[in-house]
């Protein structure tokens, strides 16, 4: 049932961070909670617990991603390194999601990390730190759209290669790029044309996500030959020729982190969720439970059923899981059908990621933080969708994918910023939360709170949080895990660095950081004053 939106009249002062808005008293509970944060309700709330859980699970697509990121773990860590590295990454992500859940319960807005950093940071660096965080999360999510679109395109290429091996002689980078354009444009159409059915679309995708897991797992396990337990749980490899096995293991964990990355995507849909302060934390933890379990199950099954991995890599170096499936089933057609399920799920991940990224653009523009904010903050009168923000996200994704035509290795820089950008924004948010927690800067909520968790107002906890010393421990563990993941995400896969294995993360992250700092001091500080108080 759709809630009728009250009409707002507002007078905007460009030089101020305050908008005078007449707020009717008949606001719904969710919209009133958003108004207390200083934000005007604009977007339609069409998501509940099940649909936002579906949205979150189908963005992460952990078991699907595990099928093609395991190769990096084989190089650095080996089968045993992949298993134990997955456990480390899973535990780390649980701590990270617990901390993010506390934050989103305090202030469930589409701005996410940059809004939380803006209100929790010390006043002297509030504006600057919030702005830098916003750019990190924005570029991270924009990179996810470009890389996931290209990932789907190249998966389709590998599917063609599986069924028509002669395609390998004429396979070109630009083929995958053009397919990725079609993927992005189709997802753009879904995001802009089917607003009322979007939540239902995510629910259907979630069903495919669960059923697809069993459709791939059962034939793989039942029909293939199996390795021994010692080969899976006791074999460590250091093919990157690092000084120690521990260093090799730490570098190889990056693939698993990528498979569990993107949980904050649902958070950026906060203003379209009913009762987000409660629903979002529980849905995020349920996502980690569901996806983490499915991903771990698929990893164990895959490692037991690898067969001749060298032959699989020789046939398809990018996605060897396809020839592995064919060898297990003894059927090219069967492997093609199962691989198609993975392609479908990567497509739905692009759908959700496009929605989340556009909401970040919209929220950042609403606070006058990016060029063209006057246009990007507008929403469709018919659907309430931030149409211009969705268009910008799609167009930039297509432009970034052009890099792959010129040099596929250089495009790795786009992929790397997705990890560094998101982990960096998580880290800053976790640090300022711990700072406020230890200094007693966050109080218990009161029934009479009308203005909280906004610039210049009191900070209070949301209805979902971890109390006492356990909360402090979780926050500290979050920071430790994030520093560990972020540090090793910058390392190359081999000690001997070549243009092919060079890790572009350091360079690209540094460029993004320097650009945002320079842009802030040259232009943004004159118009950006932190999250705008609209109500």
* 488-491 contacts, C-beta under 8 A, 24 or more apart: 488/250, 488/251, 488/253, 488/254, 489/254, 489/257, 489/416, 489/419, 489/420, 489/423, 490/420, 491/251, 491/254
First to last CA, the chain: 26
pTM: 0.91
Distances (CA, A) of 114 to 225, 302, 346, 386, 441: 50, 38, 27, 19, 18
Coil vs helix vs strand at 18: strand
Residues 177 and 406 sit within 8 Å (Cβ to Cβ): no
Nearest to 423 by CA among 76, 62, 54, 99: 99
Residue 166 exposed, middle or buried by CB count within 10 Å (0-12, 13-18, 19+): exposed
Per-residue model confidence (pLDDT) at position 408: 67
Structure tokens at 368: 């006058």
pLDDT at 306 over 50: yes
Q: Could you tell me the pLDDT band of residue 27, with boundaries at 50, 70 and 90?
A: low
With a cut of 90, say whether residue 292 has pLDDT above it: yes
Q: Are 429 and 116 in contact (CB under 8 A)?
A: yes
Given this model, what pLDDT does residue 20 score? 38
β-pairing verdict for 76-77 and 237-238: antiparallel
Q: Model confidence at 18, in pLDDT bands (50, 70, 90)?
A: very low
Q: How confident is the model at residue 410 (pLDDT cuts 50, 70, 90)?
A: low
3-state secondary structure at position 460: strand
Provide the 3-class DSSP secondary structure of residue 237: strand
- Alpha carbon distance 372, 385 (integer Å): 17
Q: Which residues contact 425 (CB under 8 A, 6 or more apart)?
A: 112, 113, 114, 133, 136, 137, 140
């Amino acid at each position: 049932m759709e809630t009728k939106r009250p009409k707002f009249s507002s007078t905007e002062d460009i030089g101020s961070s305050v908008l005078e808005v007449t707020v009717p008293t008949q606001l719904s509970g969710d919209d009133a909670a958003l108004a207390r944060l200083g934000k005007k309700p604009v977007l339609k709330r069409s998501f509940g617990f099940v649909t936002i859980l579906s949205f979150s699970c189908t963005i992460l697509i952990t078991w699907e991603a595990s099928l093609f990121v395991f190769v990096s773990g084989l190089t650095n860590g080996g089968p045993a390194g992949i298993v134990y590295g997955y456990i480390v990454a899973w535990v780390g992500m649980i701590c990270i999601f617990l901390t993010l859940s506390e934050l989103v319960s305090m202030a469930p807005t589409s701005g996410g990390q940059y809004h939380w950093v803006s209100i929790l940071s010390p006043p002297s660096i509030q504006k600057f730190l919030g702005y830098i965080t916003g750019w990190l999360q924005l570029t991270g999510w924009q990179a996810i759209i470009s890389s996931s679109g290209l990932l789907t395109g190249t998966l389709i290429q590998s599917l063609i290669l599986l069924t028509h091996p002669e395609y390998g002689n004429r396979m070109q980078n630009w083929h995958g790029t053009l397919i990725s354009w079609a993927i992005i444009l189709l997802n753009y159409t879904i995001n802009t044309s089917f607003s009322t059915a979007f939540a239902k679309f995510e629910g259907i995708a979630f069903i495919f996500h669960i059923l697809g897991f069993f459709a791939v797992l059962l034939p793989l396990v039942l029909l293939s030959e199996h390795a021994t337990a010692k080969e899976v749980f006791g074999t460590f490899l250091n093919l990157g020729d690092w000084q120690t096995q521990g260093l090799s293991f730490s570098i190889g964990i990056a693939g698993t982190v990528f498979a569990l990355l993107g949980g904050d995507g649902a958070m950026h849909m906060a203003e379209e969720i009913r009762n987000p302060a409660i629903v979002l934390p529980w849905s995020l933890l349920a996502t980690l439970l569901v996806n983490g379990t499915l991903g771990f199950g698929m990893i164990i099954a895959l490692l037991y059923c690898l067969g001749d991995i060298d032959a699989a890599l020789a046939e398809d170096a990018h996605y060897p899981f396809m020839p592995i499936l064919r060898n297990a089933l003894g059927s090219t057609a069967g492997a093609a059908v199962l691989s198609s399920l993975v392609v479908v799920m990567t497509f739905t991940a692009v759908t959700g990621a496009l929605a989340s990224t556009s909401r970040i653009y919209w929220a950042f523009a609403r606070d006058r933080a990016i060029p063209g904010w006057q246009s990007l903050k507008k929403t469709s009168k018919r659907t309430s969708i931030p149409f211009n923000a969705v268009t910008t996200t799609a167009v930039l994704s297509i432009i970034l994918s052009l890099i792959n035509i010129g040099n596929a290795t250089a495009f790795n820089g786009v992929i790397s910023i997705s990890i560094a950008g998101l982990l960096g924004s998580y880290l800053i948010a976790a640090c300022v939360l711990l700072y406020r927690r230890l200094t007693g800067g966050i109080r218990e909520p009161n029934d009479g709170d009308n203005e909280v968790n906004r610039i210049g107002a009191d900070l209070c906890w949301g209805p979902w949080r971890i109390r006492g010393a356990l909360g402090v421990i979780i926050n500290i563990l979050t920071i430790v895990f994030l520093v560990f993941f972020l540090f090793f995400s910058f390392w190359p896969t081999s000690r001997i660095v070549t243009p092919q294995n060079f890790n572009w993360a350091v360079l690209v992250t540094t460029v993004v950081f320097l650009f945002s700092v320079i842009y802030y001091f040259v232009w943004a500080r004159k118009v950006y004053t932190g999250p705008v108080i609209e109500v």
